[in-house]
């Protein structure tokens, strides 16, 4: 282990994680407004009557209308004359709010002050307009899912490599990526329902992505159980064969659930600051996952070295148990406070990450003890 590089990397990842969490949790100012008029395309500046011009800055680009309307365009804000008018440089398309028009009410379309990248560094994500605060769970949920998928893919590649070359290194990578991937997918499976409780009014929906993840989680639990209970010597081969089956099963589990009803609306990130917060968190968690894998790899290496000398005491497993406070299940809809759910999801995510790291620490302590005993004797 390169001992000088390691603390530096840990520091860097911690900084990235806190920065990402800051961007995700701090309430960014709202820069989205609505206009309820019909406008035609025009080459000269157009002044649009809007609901509010709070936080709109002249000179910044504005994204007009929603993506589904097919007439979305980006124009520069020339001036903000008063609290209810915005002037844009020109309009390439007519807008009548046909797509997001409220039922029975006036037809409207959105105007978003599109924060430029140069000002993004200190621009936390604003609250999403339809889902509210609870949408912020997304910034932890999606990176965790990406990490889990990446790690499971690494597991598949390593397993194939092991079946082909029978290298102990590939087997080690397979074991580690499955274990760390399981930690990240546990986070996905816990933050998902917390979000669903508020957004869909139900903890669980048999929705393709969710179900696929649950099956994936079950598959890799059985993978780790197999690794730990197979006859000595055969566990690597059997586990590698199971990994191939697990990988083949993913597209099937996605398709099998496509036939079922319940499709939640896809999440559209309506503000560039949301995309930025997601990007930073994605980067932070991928780096975090990489760091854990690296750490776990060194640990596994030491473990195997010790095991080689000291076989009979080296197999004790890390079991990932999760306890879900049952009280959550008895909440009624009227009392839902999205902010509580938001914090519950963030805390649950960290409880799992830190819990896993503590388990690893315990393993380190055990290995150290064994090492000392071996050196003494």
The residues that touch other proteins, with contacts defined as CB under 8 A, are 163, 215, 218-219, 221-222, 225-226, 229-231, 233-234, 237-238, 240-242, 244-246, 248-249, 252-253, 255-257, 259
**By C-beta, is 201 or 222 nearer to other proteins?**
222
CA angle, 334 then 338 then 343, to 5°? 135
Q: What is the DSSP letter of 71?
A: -
Q: Rounded to whole angstroms, how far apart are CA atoms 295 and 219?
A: 24
CB of 1 to other proteins, least distance (A): 32
Let me know: does 257 contact 212? Beta carbons within 8 Å: yes
Least separation in angstroms between CB 23 and other proteins:
36
Please, what sign has the CA dihedral across residues 136, 137, 142, 143?
positive
Residue 313 or 369 having the CB closest to other proteins: 313
CA–chain centroid gap for 112, Å, is 25
User: From the CB of 265, what's the least distance to other proteins, in Å?
Assistant: 24
CA–CA separation, 36 and 291 (whole Å) = 50
Please say whether the beta carbons of 32 and 79 come within 8 A.
no
Q: How many CB atoms lie within 10 A of CB 104?
A: 5
CB of 364 to other proteins, least distance (A): 27
Shortest spacing between CB 240 and other proteins, in angstroms? 8
Give the nearest distance from C-beta 333 to other proteins in angstroms: 28
Closer residue to other proteins (CB): 248 or 339: 248
For other proteins, the closer CB: 130 or 229: 229
Nearest Cα neighbor of 290 from 139, 138, 154 is 154
In the complex with other proteins, the residue whose CB is nearer, 8 or 255, is 255
Taking the least distance from each CB to other proteins, the nearer of 28 and 181 is 181
């Amino acid at each position: 282990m390169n001992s000088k590089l390691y603390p530096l990397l840990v520091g860097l990842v911690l900084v990235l994680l806190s920065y990402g969490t800051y961007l995700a949790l701090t309430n960014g100012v709202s820069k989205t407004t609505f206009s309820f008029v019909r406008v035609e395309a025009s080459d000269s500046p157009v002044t649009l009557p809007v609901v509010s011009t709070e936080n709109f800055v002249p000179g910044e680009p504005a994204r007009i209308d929603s993506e589904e309307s097919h007439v979305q365009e980006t124009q520069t804000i020339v001036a903000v004359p008063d609290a209810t008018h915005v002037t844009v440089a020109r309009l390439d398309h007519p807008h009548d709010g046909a797509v997001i028009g409220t039922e029975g009410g006036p037809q409207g379309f959105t105007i978003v002050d599109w924060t430029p990248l140069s000002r993004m560094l200190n621009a936390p994500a604003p609250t999403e307009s339809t889902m509210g605060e609870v949408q912020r769970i997304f910034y932890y949920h999606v990176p965790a899912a990406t990490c889990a998928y990446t790690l499971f893919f690494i597991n598949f590649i390593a397993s194939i490599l092991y079946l082909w070359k029978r290298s102990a290194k590939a087997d080690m990578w397979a074991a580690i990526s499955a274990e760390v991937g399981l930690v990240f997918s546990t986070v996905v499976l816990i933050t998902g329902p917390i979000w669903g409780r508020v957004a869909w009014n139900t903890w669980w929906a048999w929705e393709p992505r969710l179900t696929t993840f649950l099956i994936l989680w079950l598959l890799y639990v059985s993978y780790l159980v197999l690794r730990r209970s197979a006859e000595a010597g055969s566990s690597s081969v059997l586990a590698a064969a199971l990994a191939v089956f697990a990988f083949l099963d993913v597209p099937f589990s996605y398709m099998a659930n496509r036939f079922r009803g319940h499709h939640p609306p896809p999440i559209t990130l309506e503000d560039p600051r949301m995309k930025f917060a997601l990007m930073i968190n994605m980067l932070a968690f991928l780096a975090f996952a990489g760091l854990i894998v690296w750490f776990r790899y060194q640990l596994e290496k030491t473990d195997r070295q010790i095991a080689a000398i000291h076989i009979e005491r080296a197999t004790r497993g890390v079991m990932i148990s999760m306890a879900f406070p049952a009280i959550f299940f008895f909440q009624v809809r009227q009392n839902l406070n999205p902010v509580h759910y938001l914090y519950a999801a963030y805390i649950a995510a960290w409880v799992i990450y830190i819990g896993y790291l503590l388990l690893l620490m315990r393993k380190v302590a055990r290995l150290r003890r064994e090492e000392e005993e071996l050196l003494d004797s």
